[in-house]
Amino acid sequence: MKLWQKNVDSKKEVDLFTVGDDRKFDLLLAPFDVLGTMAHIRMLCETGLLEKADYLVLKQHLTAIYEDIRQQKFSLNEDVEDIHSQIEWMLTQSCGDAGKKVHTARSRNDQVLVDIKLYLRSETEKIVHLSKQLFDLLIELSEKYKEDLLPGYTHFQLAMPSSFGLWFGAYAESISDDLVAVKAAWDVINKNPLGSAAGFGSSFPIDRSMTTRLLGFENMNYNVVYAQMTRGKSEKILLQSLSNLASTLSRFSMDCCIFMNQNFGFISFPEEFTTGSSIMPHKKNPDVFELIRAHCNLIQESPNQLRSLMQNLPSGYQRDYQLTKEVTFPAIKKMKDCIVMMSMMMKNVVIKKGILRDEKYKYLFTVEEMNKLVLKGMPLRDAYRKIGEQVNKGTFKHSGKLHHTHEGSMGNLMNDAIAKEIAKTVKSFHFEKAHQAIQKLLQ
């Protein structure tokens, strides 16, 4: 059953090719299709385009469908094209002629647009909360191990002393900045396209401000042609913002793979968090980190896939947009999975103490000893030359003591300031506004 079907059936091969994987992905849109329809019929009723009796019976049945979806009792019929057809068919079966009225002043184009916007909004909130949980864990580890030193590298060569506090805290602050980019994407996503119909508006006297308010959107996409042009663009902008977060996790994973290597041995994990080899009994492989790295690298590529998909499309709806789901939905799921797995691993990380007591790390302290000479009055270039000569002659010695006090250094991590920054960013999403609107809509 298709919303657009008249008296001629499509050829089976055409059906299979054009529907593609839409049915699988449309199940993710099911609750949002119901919510969009609830808002739409409420608006139709308020503007006199739908009788109140019809509205009440439709609302009752939509509420029941929403509850079935919530309890995972919902499925698409085998002969139904998509979620939009399924919901309308169910309403027509249960409500008769009233069910045939839900599509008044609406097109499947703006219907799927609002579904996707609501889905992206919901998934963005989940990602933000998961990211904040990982941030909190990294800040906790940063504070716990701020006295434990770690070799710092530039050009992958020994450079200067670092600390586990700096290392964990660096990735925490990176997540904080990543969420600033996600907030920018949220501001684009959180606009209502409903009412744009097929992309050119409607001659019905609809109230788009009302559906914007009912669905808890911050604003609407005003121009109806542009509203349709946000299909794919919204997904791409969100994936671009998530690519920053993916880059952070990929880089962190690479560090972990290196630091777990026996030649470094800076961190380790209980055996149940690693994998083994089929022929080497001693192996404890960092497969989780390797797969986080791989998935996150693919997530970073996903905006380019959408860019390629849409790069030469004109204004107006094109069926090409259907494929944005196949890029966007899996990328979002993998992003959530990677954050969850990184959090699980970090809850079980074991750090090695006393690393820099090893003689091979003594040259990490050359800058520290040079600075001490400068503080005593020696010009920096003379101090640099003197320490360099000691290194060349093999006479360099150091006290092993560090004195870093400036903001952001290992002696002054500024974790409280970083935590305030991310708290401000998370608060700026105003998730509660959308929750309150949806809750009111469902009442």
Using the predicted structure, report yes or no on whether residue 17 has a pLDDT greater than 80. no
Q: 80 pairs with which residues across the strands?
A: none
Q: What is the mean pLDDT of residues 273-295?
A: 88
Paired tokens of 84: 């939009």
Percent of the chain scoring above 90 in pLDDT: 85
**All domains in the chain, ordered by first residue:** 12-101 (1.10.275.10), 119-201+228-356+409-442 (1.20.200.10), 358-393 (no CATH)
What pLDDT shows up at residue 281? 79
Give the model's confidence band at 2: pLDDT under 50 very low, under 70 low, under 90 confident, else very high. low
Using the predicted structure, report yes or no on whether residue 273 has a pLDDT greater than 90. no
Q: What is the mean pLDDT of residues 75-88?
A: 89
What pLDDT shows up at residue 23? 74
Using the predicted structure, report yes or no on whether residue 103 has a pLDDT greater than 70. yes
Among 124-138, 168-182, 300-314, name the one with the lowest average pLDDT. Answer: 300-314
Give the model's confidence band at 4: pLDDT under 50 very low, under 70 low, under 90 confident, else very high. very low
The overall average pLDDT reported for the chain is 93
Residues 301-357 have pLDDT tens digits of 999 999 999 998 999 888 888 899 999 999 999 999 999 999 999 999 999 999 999
Residues 237-267 have pLDDT tens digits of 999 999 999 999 999 999 999 999 999 999 9
Residues 374-406 have pLDDT tens digits of 999 999 999 999 999 999 999 999 988 898 999
Inter-residue long-range contacts of 230-234, CB under 8 Å, 24+ positions, other chains counted: 230/113, 230/117, 230/188, 230/191, 230/193, 231/109, 231/112, 231/113, 231/116, 231/317, 231/321, 231/324, 232/306, 232/309, 232/310, 232/321, 232/324, 233/188, 233/310, 234/116, 234/117, 234/120, 234/188, 234/189
Query: The pTM is what?
Result: 0.92
C-alpha–C-alpha distance, residues 226 and 218, integer Å: 17
What pLDDT shows up at residue 18? 58
Distances from the Cα of 97 to the Cαs of 2, 58, 89, 103, in angstroms? Answer: 17, 10, 11, 12
What pLDDT shows up at residue 8? 54
378-401 as b/e: b if 16+ CB within 10 A: eeeeebbeebeebeeeeebebeee
Using the predicted structure, report yes or no on whether residue 46 has a pLDDT greater than 70. yes
